[in-house]
């Protein structure tokens, strides 16, 4: 087995962010959070805006969280989601650099 590193850390991060953005519902969620006046909201608020089941919304939120683009604050029975500003800025820079090529 070859242990040689094939991809750079930046390439791996870019791919993780790109995967997270690969569904229109996830793009909607990020847009919703980024444009929300308070920058955070409960999943129930988003469920009212999207024509998808709450379980499907949960899966999309999970993918965005896994990529690091959002973070959740659990306050049972609710979860409040916000953009993870550090990762958001990192993703913006990676995409900008990539598309400059």
The domains of the chain, with CATH numbers, are: 10-100 (1.10.10.10)
Burial 7-30 (b: 16+ CB within 10 A, else e): eeeeeebbebbeebbeeebbeebb
Which tens digits make up the pLDDT trace of 47-71?
A: 888 999 999 999 999 999 999 999 9
pLDDT digits (tens, 9 = 90+) for 73-98: 888 888 899 999 999 999 999 999 99
| Euclidean distance between CA atoms 70 and 16, whole angstroms | 13
């Amino acid at each position: 087995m070859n242990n040689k590193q094939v991809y750079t850390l930046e390439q791996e991060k870019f791919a993780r962010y790109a995967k997270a953005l690969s569904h229109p519902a996830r793009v909607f969620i990020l847009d919703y959070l980024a444009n929300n006046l308070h920058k955070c909201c409960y999943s129930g608020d988003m469920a009212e805006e999207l024509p998808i089941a709450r379980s499907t919304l949960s899966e999309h939120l999970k993918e965005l969280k896994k990529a690091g683009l959002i973070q959740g604050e659990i306050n049972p029975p609710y979860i409040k989601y916000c953009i993870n500003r550090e990762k958001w800025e990192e993703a913006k820079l990676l995409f900008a650099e990539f598309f400059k090529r």
